[in-house]
Amino acid sequence: MQDYTWLIVLGVAVLVLLWGVGIYNSLIKLLNLVKEGWSGIETQLKRRSDLIPNIVETVKGYAAHEKGTFEAVTAARAAATAATTPEERAKAEGQVGALLGKIVAIAEAYPELKANTNFLELQRELSNVEEQINLSRRYYNGAVRNYNTAIQTVPNNIIAGFTRFVAAEYFEIEDPADRVAPKVSFG
């Protein structure tokens, strides 16, 4: 029997190693889903960011006296583009959304702008982008929840701690006023 003890120990070691590799691979899969989700958010935020100059220029033609608002939108857009973490990006994008709301409010005062076909198309596109941002945010936060749960539960936390997996940040908006999407309906 003692001749087979080393085989039993070797078998147990191989099983433990395979178990650890399986957990590690599942954590990598979840981490990649988080990265995919963040990429989706960035794509939609880029689409919105690309719309902003067109919206500003269209409204600027009708409301040139609102120069300060237009400059603030441009500055907020630059800050959002420069943000690197989900927390920083959420805060900056909240400011962009609030300022877009101001531009929409300015547009409400100009009936000829509300009837402008270019502006109506931009308004529809902005509405679509806002919806896609919300969908991307939900996907990302779901992926973060699954990943964070996996690295914090037993026995995965053993492998996660050993291989230095760290919790991911949710994409959350801090200011409750920023949680409301800008109203983009002109009807």
SS (H, E, C) 77-128: HHHHHHCCCHHHHHHHHHHHHHHHHHHHHHHHCCHHHHCCHHHHHHHHHHHH
Selection from 107, 106, 130, 129 nearest residue 181 by Cα: 130
30-39, 114-123, 127-136, 165-174: lowest mean pLDDT where? 114-123
Q: So what's the pLDDT on residue 113?
A: 81
All domains of the chain, ordered by start, with CATH? 2-179 (1.20.1440.20)
The model's pTM: 0.82
Side-chain-side CA neighbours of residue 50 (13 Å) = 8
Residues 6 or more apart from 183 whose CB is under 8 A from it? Answer: 101, 104
In sequence order, which ranges of the chain are alpha helices (DSSP H)? Answer: 5-60, 67-82, 86-108, 111-114, 117-152, 156-162
pLDDT the model gives residue 145: 98
180: pLDDT strictly greater than 80: no
Give the tens place of pLDDT for each residue, 42-70. Answer: 999 999 999 999 988 888 888 877 888 88
Q: List all residues 6 or more positions away from 176 whose beta carbon is below 8 Å from its beta carbon.
A: none
State the pLDDT at residue 114: 76
Checking if the pLDDT of 179 tops 80, the result is no
pLDDT at 172: 87
pLDDT tens digits for range 72-119: 998 999 999 999 888 899 899 999 988 988 888 888 888 888 788 888
Query: Tens digit of pLDDT for each residue in 116-142?
Result: 888 889 889 999 999 999 999 999 999
